[in-house]
């Protein structure tokens, strides 16, 4: 199959591209605008592979998308391109509205027009897979509930509101035009090639530099953590085996408070890369003013994807976080290059 992936140079997108090229016989076209968080170094191992190609395209550019569809003739679309950092959405929501809403609309329309021109067999096999987030569901504070595929949307941030909007557009294209879509909503991803603005890579790199480890509020916010390579495997399973019109929640079965995540990282670093002064990394933890509108708890019920598609995560948080810390220790040059002087791990969204 020919699989067109948007946002394939990003954190999750690059994991999906690597998974498909390394584990299947499919061909991939990676479309990415290459914003600050998109980096082709995460796909360097695939540059010479004849089944992989890249085009620098903004998903808001309909003409460029049409040309890419015409040339590549995709069987499946996996739409991961998005502005994704909550703190950045607080500082500058306009880019999130443009990329996540207008960009998704543009891609939907180009894909639908392309789909209409296919023969009946090609139409029946075509899928548009929209990759979203659990943040569209809002906050589970004060309950022991889990997000299910039928949980009502209640987004809190400009980022999650823009992703909720794009989810609604995708469902509307299915309902109105019978366009063959699938949606997935995932919990917090972590793992290799994660841009250092997010909690786990930020903590690892700050700790190695002996800098403060900033924790929002008291650090009691709870997230479900999903290793990115487990997520990539789930996404491929959904796009190839999932049922048209369905939503699948993808979670890691690993609810952790942010403070416990940070302490776990500190303990691993104490063991494998102790500070020169022999002080524990946990001493670097600093509590800072909380993020505006910060949701306290997200937790995914991933029973549907287990039951329907026989997917469960391979990594526990304990195995995944150790792999992640070790990867960053082995790839510090990559970390310094991708920051490119434009981001120095400063506080955003205050």
* 249, 148 Cβ separation under 8 angstroms: yes
Sheet bearing 222-227, strands edge to edge: 188-190, 222-227, 255-257
Spatial distance between the Cα atoms of 85 and 99, rounded to a whole number of angstroms: 13
pTM: 0.93
Supply 231's token pair: 């997520």
Spatial distance between the Cα atoms of 191 and 42, rounded to a whole number of angstroms: 12
Nearest to 316 by CA among 257, 256, 273, 258: 256
* 82, 160 Cβ separation under 8 angstroms: no
pLDDT of 347 reads 43
Q: Where are the beta strands (DSSP E) in the chain?
A: 2-6, 27-32, 52-56, 76-79, 127-133, 181-186, 188-190, 213-216, 222-227, 247-250, 255-257, 285-288
For all residues of the chain together, what is the average pLDDT?
93
Spatial distance between the Cα atoms of 129 and 245, rounded to a whole number of angstroms: 10
345 DSSP assignment: S
Which residues are CB-contacts of 325 (< 8 A; sequence separation ≥ 6)? Answer: 204, 265, 268, 269, 272
CATH 3.40.50.1110 fits 2-189+227-253+298-316, yes or no: no
Angle formed at CA 76 by CA 71 and CA 80, multiple of 5 degrees: 100
Spatial distance between the Cα atoms of 303 and 177, rounded to a whole number of angstroms: 30
Ranges of residues in the chain with a pLDDT under 50 are 343, 345, 347-349
Spatial distance between the Cα atoms of 131 and 241, rounded to a whole number of angstroms: 15
The radius of gyration computed from the CA coordinates of the chain, to the nearest angstrom, equals 20
Which residues are CB-contacts of 143 (< 8 A; sequence separation ≥ 6)? Answer: none
Nearest to 147 by CA among 41, 35, 248: 248
Q: Where do we find the tokens 């079965």?
A: 253
Question: Which residues are part of the catalytic machinery?
Answer: 134-135, 159
pLDDT of 342 reads 54
């Amino acid at each position: 199959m020919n699989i067109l992936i948007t946002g394939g140079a990003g954190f999750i997108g690059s994991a999906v591209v690597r998974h498909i090229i390394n584990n299947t016989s499919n061909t991939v076209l990676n479309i990415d605008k290459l914003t600050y968080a998109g980096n082709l170094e995460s796909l360097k191992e695939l540059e010479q592979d004849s089944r992989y190609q890249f085009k620098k395209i903004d998903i808001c550019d309909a003409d460029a998308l049409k040309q890419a569809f015409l040339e590549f003739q995709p069987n499946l679309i996996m739409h991961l391109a998005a502005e994704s950092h909550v703190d950045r959405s607080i500082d500058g929501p306009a880019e999130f509205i443009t990329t996540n809403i207008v960009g998704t609309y543009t891609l939907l329309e180009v894909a639908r027009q392309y789909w209409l021109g296919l023969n009946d067999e090609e139409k029946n096999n075509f899928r548009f897979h929209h990759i979203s987030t659990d943040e569209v569901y809002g906050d589970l504070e004060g309950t022991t509930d889990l997000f299910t595929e039928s949980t009502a949307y209640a987004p809190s941030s400009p980022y999650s509101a823009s992703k909720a909007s794009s989810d609604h557009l995708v469902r509307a294209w299915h309902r109105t035009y019978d366009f063959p879509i699938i949606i997935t909503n995932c919990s917090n991803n972590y793992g290799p090639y994660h841009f250092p603005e997010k909690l786990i890579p930020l903590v690892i790199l700050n700790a190695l530099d002996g800098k403060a480890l900033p924790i929002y509020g008291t650090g009691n916010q709870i997230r479900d953590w999903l290793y990115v390579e487990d997520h990539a495997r789930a996404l491929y399973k959904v796009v190839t085996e999932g049922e048209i019109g369905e939503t699948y929640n993808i979670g890691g079965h690993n609810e952790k408070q942010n403070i416990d995540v940070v302490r776990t990282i500190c303990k691993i670093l104490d063991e494998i890369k102790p500070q020169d002064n022999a002080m524990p990394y946990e001493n670097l933890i600093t509590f800072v003013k909380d993020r505006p509108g910060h949701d306290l708890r997200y937790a995914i019920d991933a029973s549907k994807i287990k039951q329907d598609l026989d997917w469960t995560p391979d990594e526990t948080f304990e195995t995944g976080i150790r792999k992640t810390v070790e990867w960053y220790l082995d790839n510090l040059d990559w970390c310094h290059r991708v920051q490119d002087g434009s981001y120095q791990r400063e506080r955003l969204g205050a």
